[in-house]
A and B are shown apart, each in its own frame.
Chain A
Amino acid sequence: MDELELTLKPLMLAGLNGDAQAHARLLKLLSERLRAYFGRRLSASLDDVEDLVQETLLAVHLRRATYDRAQPFTAWAHAIARYKLIDHWRRRKIRATAPLDDVADFLASEPVDADAGLDLTRVLSTLPPRQRTLVEDVKVHGLSLSEAGLRGGLSEGAAKVALHRALKLLAERLRHADR
């Protein structure tokens, strides 16, 4: 339990200082935990689990300014995961039957790898064309953000803003996708 905190918190702090590699590593480790956490609580489909994992990762990324550096990272991440789970149940009009857990339980989750084949493409296709092109250039063609921006006629600063907006839109669309 302490081990996970000791791994994740430094990555979070480095990410908050702008270290993209540490941030990616954090999200990757977190995604494995989240998959296990949601998997045990959603008897329904695996698609639901992966949707929630992605939604929670986006929330962690987009709302990381709300992390208080004096606080345990796992407590913060668990509170977000728990909120996203309750929100999911609320939207599906399902009453929680499994008992809601504490942080210790969240930490005890064994990491689980992603199932292949789950897809954000459906949500991605609803983005405005310019943002979609940018996202696809970075993702599919493996371009750096500034290269992808150049291709689309955007300065590096503008490309950064566009990517951030695209992620925000993605989070919003993902949340409403199952309505």
Chain B
Amino acid sequence: MQTDELIDLMAADTAPVSRFAAARRLALGAAAGAVVVMLLVLGWLGLRPDLTTAVAGAFFWIKAAYTGALGAAGFWAVERLGRPGVSAKRPAGLAAAVLLLFVLAALAQGCRMSGPARLIALQGVSWTVCTLNIAILAAPSLVITLLILRQLAPTRPTVAGFAAGAFSGGLAATLYGLHCPEATCVFVALWYTLGVAVSALVGAVFGRWILRW
């Protein structure tokens, strides 16, 4: 069979394609990932006991907005990077701005604390498990996102994998906020951010290997 015959075959396989087809596939995957992560939070970690009072306070939502924005930037980047010839500069810029803003807030908060108080804030009650928990929670969403991304056409596998990990890490960190009682910018800026970063790096490593087509 020669190339022209192959073209005839492909022409016989011409079906209409919705302009939202790629985005819809990713969105469905993200929703499925969110459900699995949520089930893990409920079944494995449990909700924080003071959840009902926590949701009345501002910091619960500030924390969720920070990690949620990181996840949203990650999703946006995934949607861009699954398309050949499209730049992901704008989502990357958004992620950098969100990160910078929150780290500055944490530095401001940390600078006002005395030395011992700062150490207490940094360690919280869960610094030994926070990053690892977020990375573990992110794993199912990362697997789903990478498998869908593989069906699209990522021409930069490592970067696309990194974005998939950042999205999954942001999603996991946001839902982890339903379990974790930590309530300082200092703590979240360090350990939550590290959790998202670990997920992004795992995504980059596996993306390089899985996102080949």
Contact = CB atoms under 8 A, between A and B. Distances in A.
Contacts of B9: 135, 138-139, 163, 166-167
B153 A53 contact: no
Given A63-B153, A78-B85, A139 B14 contact: no
Contacts of A59: 153, 213
Most B C-beta atoms less than 10 A away, residue of A17, A79, A121? A79
Given A78-B85, A83-B155, A69 B12 contact: no
B18 to A, nearest CB: 8
Contacts, number: 125
Contacts of B13: 61, 160, 163-164, 167
Given A76-B83, A83-B153, A139-B5, 16 more contacts: A17-B16, A18-B14, A18-B15, A21-B11, A23-B10, A31-B4, A53-B3, A57-B10, A58-B6, A65-B17, A66-B83, A80-B84, A120-B5, A163-B12, A163-B13, A166-B9
Interface of A: 15-21, 23-24, 27-28, 31, 50, 53-54, 57-59, 61, 63-69, 71-72, 75-80, 82-83, 87, 103, 114, 116-121, 124, 135, 138-139, 144-145, 160, 163-164, 166-167, 170, 175
Interface of B: 1-19, 21-22, 25, 82-86, 152-153, 155, 212-213
18 contacts: A21-B11, A28-B7, A31-B7, A63-B213, A65-B17, A65-B25, A66-B84, A66-B152, A71-B86, A76-B84, A76-B86, A77-B84, A80-B84, A80-B155, A120-B2, A135-B9, A167-B10, A175-B213
